[in-house]
Structure formats: C-alpha cells, structure tokens
Amino acid sequence: MPDIIFQDGSIRQNQWVVVFRPESGEPLDIPEQRQVLIPADLWVANRERYAGNENVGVWLDSHDEPETLANHVNELPLIAVNFPKFSDGRGYSIARLLRERFGYKNELRAIGDVLLDQLQFMKRCGFDTYELRPDKDIRKAAKSLNFFSQGYQAATDTDLPLFRRRAS
C-alpha cells in the first residue's frame, strides 16, 4: 500500500484499506485483521454495529453529502474523502463542513487523485493526512504543503482572516 503523508510532511506506512462499494445485492467484503474504510452510507445504515470500532472508518465520494454523518462524526476514527479527479473540488467543501460544521476531531484523509500541487489547499480545508497518487514524488510533499506562509482567508487551519490579523 502507498505511504501516507502527514500534515507536518512526515511519511508513514498506511494501515487503512479502502473497501469499495459492493455490487448491488452483494455483501460488504471486509478483510479481517485490518483497519478498513467503508462507504459512509453503509456505515450509517449499520451504525450500531460499527460505532466506536477503532478499526472501521468511512470514505465519502465527492458527490456524497457529509450531512449524512453529521452528529456521529466523532464516533469514527478516520474519515477519508475521495477525489475522483484532482480537478473535482467538492472534497474541499466536504472537508470544511466535517471540521467546521460537524466538529470532526479525528483523522481526515484525502484519497484518490491526490497530487502535489493541491496539498496546501487540502491542508487549509482540514485534511491532515494525504494518500498521494503513487506515481508522484512523495519526497516533494513537505514543500508543497507549505508553499505559502499564510493565506488571506479564514479556513479550517485558522480562525483569523488576514483582515483580522492586520487589525491586531
């Protein structure tokens, strides 16, 4: 499995397996003895079974609604958001909603078509781990995460837009 980039730029081994949505009618095929990420709606439908299980997290696709997890986000050890194509920007809004609206505190991971040049935007929107597409050079991630020393806006990473910092 590809390694995972952490927000500080460090690189660690990935422990989580993404379980894809089964064909309709098929049961969810969860590998044993592994930490798994299952489709979010399937977790919601079976919440009593999974909630509090440190080995079961969820993933949201870019068209999924984070509202479905709303009050239960902190029952999850990890939420991943899939970028089917790096140019699909819905995942940024999903991340901010999970963090800022629903108060999600645990690990938030970007998966899918994750490239270097979008990492800092992802970080600002609340992602704290990143599964870089395997053909990209993971050693360049730390630089990409910190290209800009600050931003103009408030986002998940800061409550203070530049206009408030200037005033203080």
Partner 1 sequence: MYVYDEHDRKMAAERVAQFRDQTQRALAGELEEDEFLPLRLQNGLYIQRLAPMLRICVPYGMLRSVQLHRLARITRDYDKNYAHFTTRQNVQLNWPALENVPDILAELAEVEMHANQTSGNCIRNTTTDQFAGVQADEITDPRPYCEIIRQWSTFHPEFAYLPRKFKVAVNASEKTDRAAIQVHDIGLQIVRNDAGELGFRVHVGGGLGRTPMVAPVIREFLPELDLLTYLEAVLRVYNRYGRRDNKFKARIKILVKALTPEGFAEKVESEWAHIKDSPTRLTPEAIERIQSYFTEPDYAELDNATELLAQQRFENRAFDQWLQHNIDTHKKPGYAIVSLTMKETGTPPGDVTDQQFEQIADLADEYSFGEARVTHHQNVVLADVRQDRLLELWQQLGPMGFGTANLHTLTDIICCPGGDFCALANAKSIPVAEAIQRRFDDLDFLYDLGNIDLNISGCMNACGHHHVGNIGVLGVDKKGQEFYQVSLGGASQHDASIGKILGPSFAQDDMPDVIAKIIDVYVDTRTEEESFLDTYRRVGITPFKERVYA
In terms of CB distance, is 6 or 102 closer to partner 1?
A: 102
Q: Per rule CB under 8 A, is residue 154 in the interface with partner 1?
A: yes
Is-contact 155 136, C-beta < 8 A?
Answer: no
Closest CA to 97 of 118, 121, 75, 68: 68
Q: Per rule CB under 8 A, is residue 166 in the interface with partner 1?
A: yes
Residue ranges of the alpha helices (H) in the chain? 40-45, 47-50, 90-96, 119-124, 141-145, 162-167
Q: Per rule CB under 8 A, is residue 46 in the interface with partner 1?
A: no
Among 118, 128, 129, 145, binds partner 1 (CB under 8 A): 118
Measure the CA–CA gap between 54 and 163, rounded to whole angstroms: 41
Is-contact 114 83, C-beta < 8 A?
Answer: yes
Q: Output the smallest distance, CB 87 to partner 1, in A.
A: 5
Measure the CA–CA gap between 138 and 4, rounded to whole angstroms: 9
Q: Per rule CB under 8 A, is residue 87 in the interface with partner 1?
A: yes
Q: Per rule CB under 8 A, is residue 20 in the interface with partner 1?
A: no
Q: Per rule CB under 8 A, is residue 96 in the interface with partner 1?
A: yes
Residues in the site for partner 1, rule: CB under 8 A? 86-90, 92-93, 96, 101, 115, 117-118, 120-122, 124-125, 137, 147-155, 159-164, 166-167
